[in-house]
Structure 1
Amino acid sequence: MQRQDSQDAPLFGEDEDHIRLRKSKIRHPLASFFHLFFRTSAILVYLLCDILSTGFIACMVTIILLLSCDFWTVKNVSGRLLVGLRWWNQVDDDGKSHWVFESWKTHSMNTASHAESRIFWLGLIVCPVFWVMFVFSTIFSLKIKWLAVVIMGLVLQWANLYGYVRCKVGGKSNLRNMAKNYLGVQIFKQAMKKSERP
């Protein structure tokens, strides 16, 4: 007998309580911790740099090291363990760049818990927003020496976000189709609301 693709369907010998525990508990606490640790540490060091130290070089090197550790950890460890996704870009012999995406099957025993998935996506989406704000605040406050650091933070965090979103939903064509479908549904809803009004 073949197992259904739904994660809610119990396997032979599994009961409902076991499935609920698997969904709610964090199975990879170390990966979850470091997924958030490097990201938030880089942001905190940037925010507290003037208070903690007067040396620009020491702060810059610390932030860049934290961002690099974050990029590597998210791309190679936490993405695999927390949500079952992996991406990379490879260049073939002709010099063409190809995106490669991997994901677990839905019926795999290695499916991530809901808590881990929330931790992963929340950290992946929220932190680049901070770096976007830092870019604008650096430009408007004329702290030009920090511009390279905040742009590096934005680029590294945006690259992981872009890679995992493409990995989750598919290639560019799928992203375009999703956007078209979403806009179509929104336009249809607005048209229905207008037609229902007297």
Structure 2
Amino acid sequence: MDSDDIEDVSLFDADDDLSRRSKKSKIRHPVASFFHLFFRVSAIVVYLLCELLTSSFIACMVTIILLLSCDFWAVKNVTGRLMVGLRWWNQVDDDGRSHWVFEARKVSAQGSKTSSEAESRIFWLGLITCPMIWVIFAFSALFSFKVKWLAVVVMGVVLQGANLYGYIRCKVGSRKNLTSMATNYLGKQFLRQTVATEDQTAS
């Protein structure tokens, strides 16, 4: 990885909040929202119950890894784009150099492409909570000397942690860009307040 290409949108744009408020409570992509949670929750459930369901470790391991792989692909390529307007990927240029690209969808003036608040909560709740659960499983397997399960739980941590890291980069971008956006937003708010005060004084 030689360089990062980051495309950010303003996280502080509140100009069209009123026009978007009625749309925020609706789940506009129910299938994507379902599968965003289905694969990752299923992998956790299978991990917890596999010893009760079957005595075959190989069958459990293959099932969990398949669910984790499906989750990684679905979240990276489908649900992130539909539910919150974010996506990330790796591309190789003509010189053979690898670039990580983190994109955030631009918000239109009418707010027609913004994600709903309900979908956003579902997305980030699943994205953050499940990797934390796999980290707990990793420490549990390590301290209880269940060495055969370490490969499985590490796979869960890596795959879901990669998506979490990628989408956090998409959301906030670099610290420099985030600081710049905050400064611009505060400057606009100060200017509006100053103009409003002057208008009240003049009247």
- Per the TM superposition, whether the score is higher than 0.5 is yes
User: Does residue 67 in structure 1 map to residue 68 in structure 2?
Assistant: yes
| Counterpart-to-counterpart distance in 2, 1:94 and 1:153 | 33
Aligned residue number for residue 188 of structure 1: none
1:6 aligns with 2:24: no
The CA deviation string for residues 63-99 of structure 1, in whole angstroms up to 9 with x for no partner, is: 0000000000000110001000010112334443211
Give the letter for the 2:127 counterpart.
L
Q: In the alignment, does 2:132 pair up with 1:129?
A: yes
- Higher relative contact order (Cα pairs below 8 Å, separated by 6+ residues): 2
Residue in 1 aligned with 2:36?
Answer: 35
Q: For 1:24-173, what aligned pairs fall within 5 Å after superposition? A: 24-107=25-108, 108-171=111-174
CA distance in 1, matches of 2:44, 2:166: 21
Query: After TM superposition, where is structure 1 displaced by more than 4 Å over at least 4 residues in a row?
Result: 172-175
Provide the rounded CA distance (Å) in 1 between the counterparts of 2:150 and 2:96: 32
Number of corresponding residues? 166
Q: Say if 1:74 and 1:160, in contact at 8 Å, map to a contact too.
A: yes
TM-score under structure 2 length normalisation: 0.76
Range 85-94 or range 28-37, more displaced: 85-94
Q: How many Å separate the matches in 2 of 1:96 and 1:20?
A: 43
More displaced stretch, 96-105 vs 60-69: 96-105
TM-score under structure 1 normalisation?
0.78
Matched to 1:66, the amino acid is: L
Contact 1:166 1:172 (8 Å CA) reproduced: no
| Preserved contact between residue 79 and residue 86 of structure 1 (Cα < 8 Å) | yes
Match of 1:22 in 2: 23
Return the letter of the residue paired with 1:49: C
Which ranges in structure 2 are unaligned for 5 or more consecutive residues?
1-12, 181-203
Q: In structure 1, list runs of 5 or more residues that go unmatched.
A: 11-18, 179-198
Give identity over the alignment, percent.
71
